[in-house]
Amino acid sequence: MFIGTSKEKFHFHNTLLCLVQAMQGRNITVDLRNDSCVCGRVASVDGYMNISFSNAVYCDPQGNEYQFDDLFLQGRNIRYVHIPETDSMLSTIQNAIGRGKRPKPDRKDVKKSRKVQKAMKQHMETVALLDMK
- The residues with which 81 forms a beta bridge, in sequence order, are 30
Classify residue 60 as left (phi > 0), alpha (psi -120 to 50) or beta. Answer: beta
Q: pTM for the full model?
A: 0.67
In a domain, 19, yes or no: yes
Q: Looking at the predicted structure, is the pLDDT value of residue 131 above 80?
A: no
In a domain, 1, yes or no: no
Q: Please answer whether residues 33 and 66 qualify as being in contact, where contact means their C-beta atoms are separated by less than 8 angstroms.
A: no
Which of the pair, 100 or 125, is modelled with greater confidence? 125
pLDDT digits (tens, 9 = 90+) for 6-42: 888 887 778 888 888 888 999 999 999 999 999 999 9
DSSP symbols for 24-64: TTSEEEEEETTS-EEEEEEEEE-TT--EEEEEEEEE-TTS-
In a domain, 125, yes or no: no
In a domain, 85, yes or no: yes
Which CATH number goes with the domain that contains 39? Answer: 2.30.30.100
In a domain, 71, yes or no: yes
Q: Structurally, how many domains does the chain consist of?
A: 1
Q: Looking at the predicted structure, is the pLDDT value of residue 75 above 80?
A: yes
N-terminal to C-terminal alpha carbon distance within the chain: 53
In a domain, 27, yes or no: yes
Domain that holds residue 27: 6-106
In a domain, 127, yes or no: no
pLDDT interval class at 101 (50, 70, 90): low
Mean pLDDT throughout 55-81? 94
In a domain, 102, yes or no: yes
